[in-house]
Structure 1
Amino acid sequence: MQVSVETTSQIERRITIQVPAGEIDEAVNTRLKETAKNVRLNGFRQGRVPMAVVRQRYGESVRNEVVGEVMRERYVRAITDEGFNPAGYPQIEPTVNEAGKDFEFVATMEVYPEVELASIEGTEVERPVVEVTDADVDEMIATLRKQNAAWEEVDAAAEDGDQVTIDFQGYIGDEPFEGGSAEGHELVIGSNSFIPGFEEQLIGAKAGDDKTIKVTFPDDYQAEHLAGKEASFQVKVHKVSRQSLPEVDAEFIERFGVEGGDETKFRAEIKKNMTREAAQAVDNRVKQQIMDALKKANDIPVPTALVQQETDGMKRQAAQQFGLGEDFDVSQLPNELFEEQAKGRVQVGLLLAEVIKANELDASDDEIKAKVEELAEQYQDPSEVVDYYMGNEQMKTQVKSAVLEEKAVDKLLEQATVKDVDMSYQQVLAAAQQQAEAGEGAEEDEATSA
């Protein structure tokens, strides 16, 4: 077997492999003899069909089988001998495939990039310093009361925050438009779930009122035939309801798993959860700055196959998130929606793997268990979660990857200049939300293998 390698890019290799004609012909003849033993043809007894007939009938298909096996086997042998670390499957194409001639094929493949890590020395990282206050806990309890509020019908004019039950029909000029009508729709004024200007015009309405509401659809409205157009809605108000907030009593507190309804324990549990949430937001904010600096200092090429794998995974996550069902064909989702983010994830994964390797980082069982216990705190029965994770090698491996990733970030953080910045709980959560909406921090759940 003769092998020649051409480097066509930083991560692409073109391997040309030649196999002597005799080896192919011998393998084909052997396979044809085996085939002849079981061939059944009219006019011949089983196993007595002349080889010339067997070759005429089955020669081409047998050669294709042999060639396919040879290409797979010789490709593996070649990349092993050359020490390549392929990323994804190769493209294999025969270039000379004729009886009596040396067989030749070309395998084009991508390899993992060779990374020489550049330092992020001098990078400035802002690290939020957050303290969850009693006022923050009060605000969280107020939010929980609103989430558990009941709507009670009132004989009063609708105010901001009230819920109105309405029928409506929308018109462009004198013509009703598709999708512009509903009956018995429950709308919370101030929720901004309707066209801008619609909800405000319901303030002051009472049950039984008929109103004409005029609005202009935004220029970027998703329904292009309505974008930028003026519309009117005929609205019938059936009911006005107002939120009735629950009292913070034992019954309310027990809904959140605090036995006995003790308010002191309730507040302590809320503060504990908020503190954990704030710490995660801080870690993610710091990590994102480190990842951005790492990518900027190390603009490595990423294999297309890995980006496609990540893109496919993100498509599946999106389909699950939006409840599209297990049978949904994710190929219907355009690659373009995910490719840039997927490329960033792959790049970060490769770089973090190199950081882990360069610093010989590892995670012990005790460290893995400590991380699992941290994750389990948010569940009803933490011990059950810990037992499940520690008894499942696949889950343990995922947690180990997360621990190694944290260690890698800590190592990189040693190269940076860290500036502590005081932030409130609300500020750090708002910053985390903005980061998520901007598509940043996409790598926070990405498992990195050493």
Structure 2
Amino acid sequence: MQVSLSDTGGLSRRLEVAVPATEVAREVQQRLKRLSRTARLKGFRPGKAPLTVIAKQFGDQVRAEVLSDLVRSSFAQAVSEQKLRPAGGPRIEPIAMGPETDLKYAAHFEVLPEIRVNPPERLAIERPASSVEETDVDAMIENMRAQRPVFTPVDREARDTDRVVFDYKARIGGKPFEGSDLTDVRIVLGTRQAMPELEAGLRGVRAGEQRIVHAVFAAAHPNKKLAGQSAELHLSIKAVEEHSLPAVDDEFFRTYGVEQGGLAEMRAEVRKSMERELAEVIRGRVRTQLLDALYRDNPIELPRALIEEQVQELQLDTARRLGIRDASRLPRHESFEEPARRRVALGLLMSQIAQSQGLKADRERVAARLTDLAEGYPDPEEARRAYLRNPQAMRSIESAVLEERVVDFLLERARVTERRTSFSELTGFGRSPAGEDAPHQHEPRHDPQYEPQDEASGT
């Protein structure tokens, strides 16, 4: 096999490979012989057809398979001999593939860059210093009360924070449509749960009242038949319910899984949950700063193939997260370029650090990580077995563990200063108005699915 390597600029390479015609012919003959032992041809017993007949019937197909396999194997061999590290699959340019000639082709590809990581002592990180205060626990319990509202029927006009219960019949051009009639619809006024026209139409209603509201379905409505359509909404008001917060008592504690110990136990459980989140947020902030600093301090040339691969992954992630099926509605390619470059660069840098420092995903850390993940499922032991049966999932865990080891290695050497900050500033708790961007609940234990309490029904 003859190999010729040329640098075509940057990280691009051109590898020209020639495989002797004798080797191609020998492999074709061997495969035809193997095929002749099992081939079923009309007029011949199984495995008894002459080789010339087999070659005439299957020769072109076998030769195509041989050429494909030889290109793959010879490229891998050539890359190994030349000590190259391809950044992705090659683009194959056929040069000669005739039946009587050597197999010749050119492979165009990119190689991984040579990476020299600057000393981690150059990295400067600011670690947030914070703690959970009693006032933070007070605010969290108030938030938890807000997540368990009590709605009580009242005989007055509906206003903001009231819940209105009604039946609903929508008509477009005087005609019903699929899903146009609904019963026992519940909307809390002032929370922007419904079309603006509908919410405005519900203000001031009383139980037993009938009302007609004119509205326009949003242009981006998921049902394209309704998008932008004007509709007439016939409302039959069944109840107006006043919003109030539940008492901080044993019944309230039980809704959050605290069966004994009263307020003191509730506060202790809430504090533990908040402290766990605080530790995770601090760790996340420090990690992000560290990786940003590593990226800025170590500029490297990146293979275009890896960037494109990451751009596609980011696009698919965005589509899944937003429920987008139409590729034309995805954000522009350029908006993913910098995040993709960052991902690729950090992956290469951290891989180099792990290799140079001999860092590995040791069994103990992998096992601990697996246990933590499994504990998040109703049946931890079954979840653990499922992970162990899934090689891809285990590789993902090992990769995460190795990444954490690299982060720990860098943090031990980086210049870290502390900045005092509050729990609310660090976590964002309490910044959003109620009913809009609701803050996280810090439930002390597993909580059943939320259903507002209803004094009238006793639930």
TM-score bucket (shorter structure): 0.7 to 0.9
- Return the letter of the residue paired with 1:7: D
| Aligned residue runs from structure 1 range 185-196, under 5 A | 185-196=185-196
When residues 419 and 4 of structure 1 are mapped into structure 2, their CA distance, relative to the original with a 3 A threshold, is: same
Calculate the aligned-residue CA RMSD, in Å: 4.8
Q: Which residue of structure 1 aligns with residue 446 of structure 2?
A: none
Query: Does 2:108 align with 1:108?
Result: yes
State the percentage of identical aligned residues. 32
Query: Does 2:85 align with 1:85?
Result: yes
- Return the letter of the residue paired with 1:408: V
Q: Which residue of structure 2 aligns with residue 160 of structure 1?
A: 160
Q: Which residue of structure 1 aligns with residue 22 of structure 2?
A: 22
* Contact kept in structure 1, 2:206 and 2:240, CA below 8 Å: yes
Most deviating of 159-168 and 274-283: 159-168
Q: 2:356 aligns with which of 358, 382, 385?
A: 358
TM-score, normalised by the number of residues in structure 1: 0.73
- Return the letter of the residue paired with 2:305: T
* Contact kept in structure 1, 2:161 and 2:188, CA below 8 Å: yes
Query: Does 2:426 align with 1:425?
Result: no
Q: Find the residue that maps to 1:108 and give its secondary structure.
A: strand
Structure 1: segments with no counterpart, 5+ residues: 438-450
Most deviating of 125-134 and 364-373: 364-373
* Contact kept in structure 2, 1:171 and 1:180, CA below 8 Å: no
* Contact kept in structure 1, 2:171 and 2:231, CA below 8 Å: yes
* Contact kept in structure 2, 1:92 and 1:108, CA below 8 Å: yes
Q: Find the residue that maps to 1:260 and give its secondary structure.
A: coil
Q: Which residue of structure 2 aligns with residue 444 of structure 1?
A: none
- Return the letter of the residue paired with 1:158: A
Structure 2: segments with no counterpart, 5+ residues: 438-459
Most deviating of 385-394 and 203-212: 385-394
**Partner Cα distance (1:107, 1:167) in 2:** 68
* Contact kept in structure 2, 1:246 and 1:252, CA below 8 Å: yes
* Contact kept in structure 2, 1:15 and 1:106, CA below 8 Å: yes
When residues 371 and 385 of structure 1 are mapped into structure 2, their CA distance, relative to the original with a 3 A threshold, is: farther
When residues 141 and 175 of structure 1 are mapped into structure 2, their CA distance, relative to the original with a 3 A threshold, is: same
- Return the letter of the residue paired with 2:309: Q
What's the offset of the Cα at 1:104? 0.9
Q: Which residue of structure 2 aligns with residue 205 of structure 1?
A: 205
**Partner Cα distance (1:47, 1:388) in 2:** 46
Post-superposition Cα deviations, 1:238-265, rounded to whole Å, max 9, x if no partner, equal: 3212345433333432343434243322
* Contact kept in structure 2, 1:165 and 1:239, CA below 8 Å: yes
**Partner Cα distance (1:210, 1:390) in 2:** 56
What's the offset of the Cα at 1:271? 0.5
What's the offset of the Cα at 1:335? 8.7
Q: Which residue of structure 1 aligns with residue 127 of structure 2?
A: 127
* Contact kept in structure 1, 2:169 and 2:235, CA below 8 Å: yes
| Aligned residue runs from structure 1 range 39-438, under 5 A | 52-118=52-118, 125-167=125-167, 183-184=182-183, 185-196=185-196, 199=199, 202-210=202-210, 235-243=235-243, 245-297=245-297, 298-302=299-303, 304=305, 308=309, 311-312=312-313, 315=316, 319=320, 339-340=336-337, 341-362=339-360, 364-367=362-365, 398-413=396-411, 418-430=416-428
* Contact kept in structure 1, 2:310 and 2:344, CA below 8 Å: no
What's the offset of the Cα at 1:21? 1.3
- Return the letter of the residue paired with 1:405: E
* Contact kept in structure 2, 1:214 and 1:233, CA below 8 Å: yes
**Partner Cα distance (2:128, 2:219) in 1:** 38
**Partner Cα distance (1:32, 1:389) in 2:** 44
When residues 349 and 259 of structure 1 are mapped into structure 2, their CA distance, relative to the original with a 3 A threshold, is: farther
When residues 194 and 85 of structure 1 are mapped into structure 2, their CA distance, relative to the original with a 3 A threshold, is: same
TM-score, normalised by the number of residues in structure 2: 0.72
* Contact kept in structure 2, 1:302 and 1:343, CA below 8 Å: no
Higher relative CO (Cα under 8 Å, sequence separation at least 6) belongs to 2
When residues 233 and 295 of structure 1 are mapped into structure 2, their CA distance, relative to the original with a 3 A threshold, is: farther
Q: Find the residue that maps to 1:69 and give its secondary structure.
A: helix
Q: Find the residue that maps to 2:14 and give its secondary structure.
A: strand
